[in-house]
Amino acid sequence: MQVRIFRTPVHLPTLALTVALGAAGAGVAKLLHLPLPMLLGPLLAVAGAALSGWKPMGYLVQFPMKLRNCFVPVVGVAIGGSFTPAIVAQAVEWWPSLLAIALFIPAAHLASFRTVRATGLIDPVTAFFGTAPGGLIDTVQMGEEKGADVPMLTMLQFLRLIVTIVTVPVFFSVMTGHAVGSAGGASLSRGPLTLAELPWLIGAGLAGALIGARLKMPGAMVTGPLAISAAVHLAGFVQGSPPQWMVNVTQVVIGTGLGVRFAGMELRRFWLAIRLAALSTGVSMTLAVVMAFALHGFVAEPAAAVFLAFAPGGLTEMSLIALSLQMSIVYVTAHHALRIILAVAVARALSGRLAR
C-alpha cells in the first residue's frame, strides 16, 4: 500500500515496520543501559537493517525526511524552555569561546583535510568538502559544483554526524561511570505543562519553524522554534516545557530517520567512508577536547559543556545530547548554530583556492 507523505512516495506497511524497529531498538538499548538509548537504539537498529539490505515487504526500511522534520521543532521548543533571565545575562561571558570557535572551524577543517588526504584514498575535492565540520547539505552542494564524488562526499558528511553522535555519549558514560541520557534517569522536562500553556508551545513550534525557514536560519527547524519558545518563556506566558514522553518520541524519530539514510549504501564504499569519517572526526574531536580544557575557565562553564559545544555533530543531535545531559543547553546550542554558519563560510571561502 503506497501513499504520499509530503509528496514523497511511501510504502505504508514498511514505514510502520521501520518505526516499530526503531522503537524496539530504543527499548533494547534502554534495557542494556546504553548511553542516550532513545536516540542511539533506533539509529543502530534501523541502520543495521538498512545496511543488510533487509526487505521484508519488498522495500528497504524507509522514513521520509519531511516527516522527521515535523518532530524536530519539539527539540527547539524544549531548549527554549531553558531560557531564564539569569542565563541570558550569563551569555555575555561566552565571548571567549564564541571567538575561539571562529578559529577552531578553519583549524579543524584543514587538519582533518590534510589527515584524510594523506591516506591517498579519495580525491582532494571530495576530501575537502567531506571534512568540513558542519553544514552537510551546503557542503554536498558545493562539492557537487566542484566535481566531487557526491556519494562518497555525502557518506563522509553523514558519517561525521553518526560517529560524533555515537562516541560523545559513550565518552561521557566512561567519564561519569554511568549511562547518560534517559537511561541514566535524566528528565528532559523543565516543568509541568498545563492545558492553557499547550497552545503557546504548539504555536512556538509552528511559527518558529516557518519563520526560521523563511529567514534561512542555521538549523531552522530547531533554532526558529527555540527563539519563539525562549521569548514566550522569558515573557512569562509559559512556565512548562514539552513532556518527557514527547521528547522521547522525538529522539526515536530522529534516530530512525538517521538510520534509514544508510539504505542502499554499497558495503565496500561504506567501510571506506566510515574509516575516513572516523579519522576526520577524531581530529576534530581531539581539537575540541583541547579547546574544552583551554577555555572552560574563561566562560564559567564546565569543560564537558565546552567540549560538547565544539564537537562536530549536528545541531539537532548535539542539542538533544545537551538536553539529555542537562548541561548548559543554551550555551551548547548557540555555539553549534555559529559552527554551522562558519563551517559553510570557511568551505566556500577556501574552495576557490582548492580549485586553483
- Enter the DSSP assignment of 184: G
Q: How sure is the predictor about 177, in pLDDT bands with cuts at 50, 70 and 90?
A: low
Orientation angle between helical segments 244-260 and 150-176, nearest 10 degrees: 140
pLDDT digits (tens, 9 = 90+) for 283-334: 999 999 999 999 998 998 888 889 999 999 888 888 888 877 777 888 998 8
Q: For the residues 264-283, what does the mean pLDDT come to?
A: 93
**Least confident among 109-118, 157-166, 180-189, 208-217:** 180-189
**Least confident among 46-55, 181-190, 229-238, 330-339:** 181-190
DSSP per-residue letters across 3-15: EEETTEEEEHHHH
Phi, psi of 309 (to 5 degrees): -70, -30
pLDDT digits (tens, 9 = 90+) for 118-167: 999 999 999 999 999 988 878 988 888 888 998 899 999 999 999 998 88
pLDDT of residue 160: 93
Cite the DSSP H helix spans in 32-149.
37-51, 65-69, 73-80, 85-90, 95-117, 124-130, 136-145
- Enter the DSSP assignment of 2: E
pLDDT of residue 25: 96
pLDDT digits (tens, 9 = 90+) for 63-114: 998 899 899 999 889 888 888 887 778 888 899 999 999 999 999 999 999 9
The residues with which 276 forms a beta bridge, in sequence order, are none
With contact defined as beta carbons under 8 Å apart, do 322 and 308 qualify? yes
Q: What is residue 298's three-state secondary structure?
A: helix
Q: For the residues 242-251, what does the mean pLDDT come to?
A: 89
In the chain, what are the domain boundaries?
A: 74-240+265-355
- Three cell numbers, residue 43: 539509529
Q: Whole-prediction pTM value? A: 0.82
Q: For the residues 167-176, what does the mean pLDDT come to?
A: 75
With contact defined as beta carbons under 8 Å apart, do 252 and 135 qualify? no
